[in-house]
Chains A and B, each alone.
Chain A
C-alpha cells in the first residue's frame, strides 16, 4: 500500500485569513539578540520580501517561520497550528509536505543526478521511485532544465543548478516556499530567470513565498516588503 501523497493529506482550512502569522518573536543566540518582537502576516498566495542588511535577523526570522529554529518567545500560527509549541515530528512533517525551501547555493545532493534531487522530497514522503521521478522530470522540463535531469549538480551551471533547486522546492506543491537569497550567487540575467520561474510557478500553484533578500530588484518580485532591522520588523507597506 502506498503512503498518501502530500496532496491527499489534510491541509489548513481555506479561509480568508492569513496562512501564516507570527507575533512578537524573540530569539537570542548567546548574548546576541537576533530577533526582537518580529511579526509577520502572510496571506495565501502572497509573496513577501524580508529585506534588511546583513546581520539584521532576516534569515533567523525565516528559519523561525519555517519551523527550523524555535523562537524563545512569541507565537507562530500556521493554519491553526502553533508552530512554536508543535512537537518535532509535526514540524518535520510540515517541512516535508507543506513547505518548500530554496537557498542561495541550491544545496543539492552532489552525488545524486538532478532528477533524483528533485524527486527526493517525494521519495521522503513515501512516493515510489518511478512516479516520483516522472513528476520530477515534468517539473524540470517546466523550469526549462529537462536536459540536465540525468546530470549531477556539479556538471550544471549555476543558473541550471538553481533552477533544479527551484524544482525541488516546488515538487511537493508546498503551501509556502521559503527562499533565502535564492539568486545571491547568480549573475543578473540568470538571477532574473530563476526569480521569474520561482514567482510565476508559485503564483500559478497558489503558493505563498517568503523571500529573504537584501537586493531591491529581487524584492520587487514580491507583492510587498517587510524590513527587518536589528531583529525588529517594520512593515511599511507596498501592494499588488
Chain B
C-alpha cells in the first residue's frame, strides 16, 4: 500500500492546506529522490475526498485557477492511526534473483564466486553513495539513508554467508 495517502492525512492533521502547500511540505520531509508530481498530488487528494477521509473546507477563486483547502475528517484521522499501528510486511527482495543466479552458475559449472564478488562491489558502491549523501544531508536524509544502508548490509551478509557455503551448496546442487 502506498504511504502517500496516509502521509497526506497526517500532514493535514496539523492544519488544513491547499494541495500546492501539501506537496511542498511532503517534498520537504519525504521526497528523497524527486519531488512529487502535481498530478499525483491531486489524484491522491481526489481519492481521499471520494473515500471521505478529507473534505474541502474552502474554495478560493482569484485571478488564477480555483484553489481548494483540504482538511482531514474524523474518518481520515482513524485511517492514519490504523495505518501507523499496522506492521509493514517484511519483504525479502533481492535474494530470489541472486539465489537463482548462484544456483544456475553452480548447475552449469560456472564459477559462482565471481557473481557474488560482482554483486558485493555493486552493493558497496551504492552504500558509498548513500554514506556520502548522508554526510551532506539533514537528519531526515540520514534516517532514510540509514534505512537503505541497513537493508543493503543485510544483503551483503547473505552474500558473505553464501560465499562461505559455496562448496557445500555446489555439492547439494550437483547431487540433486
Contacts and interface: CB of A to CB of B under 8 A. Distances in A.
A and B part of one assembly: yes
A80 interface: no
A89 interface: no
Contacts of A221: 128, 131
Interface string A208-223: 0000000111011111
B134 to A, nearest CB: 9
A236 B120 CA distance: 9
Given A53-B160, A196-B135, A220 B120 contact: no
A216 B117 contact: no
Counting contact residues on chain B (CB < 8 A from A), the size range is 20 to 34
A234 interface: yes
Contacts of A227: 117, 120
Nearest to A221: B131
A116 interface: no
B124 A238 contact: yes
Contacts of B149: 217, 220
B125 A216 contact: no
Contacts of A234: 117
Interface in A180-232: 196, 215-217, 219-223, 225, 227
Given A53-B160, A196-B135, A220 B127 contact: yes
A223 B117 CA distance: 17
A30 to B, nearest CB: 24
A238 B117 contact: no
Given A236-B121, A238-B125, A220 B164 contact: no
Interface of A: 53, 196, 215-217, 219-223, 225, 227, 234, 236-239
Interface of B: 117-118, 120-121, 123-125, 127-128, 130-131, 135, 149-150, 152-153, 156-157, 160, 164
